[in-house]
Amino acid sequence: MTEKAKAPKRAKKTNILVRLLTFGATGALLLGALVLVVYRDQFNLDALKRQIAYHNMQTSDTGEAAPFTHAGGSRLDLSYLERGVVTSSTTGAHYYGLDGESLAEEVLSMDNPILESSRTTGVVYDVGGSSLFAFRGSEEVFSLSLSGSGDLLSARPNDSGWVAVTAQRSGYKGAVTVYNHHGHEVIQISLSTTFAVDAAVSPDCKTVAVVTIGQEGGRFFSRLLLYPVNQKEPSAQIDLGSLTVLDLDYEDDLIWVLGEDRLLMVSTGDNSVQSYTFSPSYLKGCSLGGEGFALLLTGHYRSGGATQATVIHGAGQSARSIELTGQVLDYAAAGSYCALLSGSRLIIYNQELAQYAVLEEPQGAQYLDLAPNGSALLANDQQAWLYIPQ
């Protein structure tokens, strides 16, 4: 009986010790969180991410890594992925490691090459053609070749590697096919009364947003249809008016729809639509790659370059602008950053358009893409390299 009576006491002491250790660990976490808050201006989490991501990469005093040679070609475009760099041109598609190692390529003639990318996946296709190639990780993960008289109109990957492909197919005015990260077909949506012109898969891979164009009484209109990927009927239809859709992006709780004179923000919760109108200014460029914001470039005149850069936040539709004085060669947005490239400098901004990093004289770079951690991918017609803010 005596020994049995002592057992609960030992157990109680053990529980107290566990609780003390738990409180100690919790206190350490709270202290760490407090340190991050107090010293957030000195301690940059993205700087730590860059150190981890590029720990084996040597950079110059300016933060630029050694350049590597790419395949080039006319109508060149390029994108930064987690594991490499994808380029597209009229001569095909190429995939490189961040050190320039050739990982995969598709050499073929493309009349209208387009490169669309997410954080993980780059998709190269020929508008009006039938060939599509998807790259992720360290390889080409799948390719498509439309049979018959199919013509590709759009192909958009999400971060999970799913791709929504919009095409014209015989017998239909429009067709959207969703492929999973292995390239296997999940659903095909075929429309006979309206034209499908674009589509994007939700981040959770449960819904595909389809942009359609129709006509009623001699008037053209656009709609956004939301399809669960396990059914052939839309769960929601959102009227977009007479908008001509130029770009599309699907975030967790917001769908961005770019038109010629406005940017629409569609809530996926209640399907409400907010509009940011930039008329009478003229659209010169737009990047929807930022997290929760869009970067718009506008100009005062139909001809000529951009004279203003604006960041629009989806939450609350707040906007902030800066005036531009020089020619913008390229622009990009990713993560919490956006960037503008001119002939004399690269400026990386945060999402409030405050300067985050500046690179003077970026070695004749003409092309730009951003990593979510704030690094920049720069390129000219022959070489590409990383700029890693210090």
pLDDT tens track for 210-230: 999 998 878 899 999 999 999
What's the rounded Cα separation, in Å, for the pair 8 and 284?
Answer: 75
Neighbouring residues of 364: CB distance < 8 A, sequence distance ≥ 6: 343, 380
Return d(Cα 15, Cα 59) in angstroms, integer: 52
pLDDT at res. 6: 43
Low-confidence ranges of the chain (pLDDT < 50): 1-23, 25-26, 28-29, 31-43
Cross-sheet strand order for the sheet of 262-267: 247-250, 254-258, 262-267, 273-277
Q: Write the CATH number of the domain with boundaries 146-277.
A: 2.130.10.10
pLDDT given at position 318: 81
pLDDT one-digit tens code per residue, 345-358:
999 999 999 999 99
Phi-psi region for residue 32, left (φ > 0), alpha (ψ -120 to 50) or beta? alpha
**Distance between CA atoms of 307 and 295, rounded to whole angstroms?**
13
> Which pair of tokens denotes residue 381?
């017609």
Ordered DSSP codes for 244-313: ---EEEE-SSEEEEE-SSEEEEEETTT--EEEEE-TTSEEEEEE--BSSEEEEEEESSSSS---EEEEEE
Helices (H) and strands (E) in the chain, counts: 2, 32
Q: How far is CA 200 from CA 92, 154, 161, 251, 296, in A?
A: 24, 9, 12, 10, 20
Task: State the number of CA atoms in the 13 A half-sphere of 211 facing the CB.
Answer: 31
Tell me the one-letter amino acid at 159: D
What pLDDT, in 10s, does the model give residues 43-71?
478 999 999 999 989 999 999 999 999 99
Q: Please, what is the average pLDDT of the chain?
A: 89
pLDDT at site 18: 39
Give, for 198, the enclosing helix (H) or strand (E): strand 195-201
Q: Name the amino acid, one letter, at 52.
A: I
DSSP 321: E
Return the closest-CA partner of residue 379 out of 112, 70, 81: 70
CA dist 294 and 311 (Å) reads: 6
R_g of the chain computed on alpha carbons: 24
* Residue 182, CA distances (Å) to 80, 164, 279, 360, 384 in order: 21, 13, 42, 42, 29
Show the tokens assigned to 62.
């300016």
**CA 113 – CA 369 distance, rounded (Å):** 17
Note whether 88 and 71 are within 8 A (CB): no
For residue 325, what is the enclosing H or E element?
none
Sequence spans of domains, the chain: 1-42, 146-277
Confidence at residue 147, expressed as pLDDT on a 0 to 100 scale:
77
Its pTM stands at 0.87
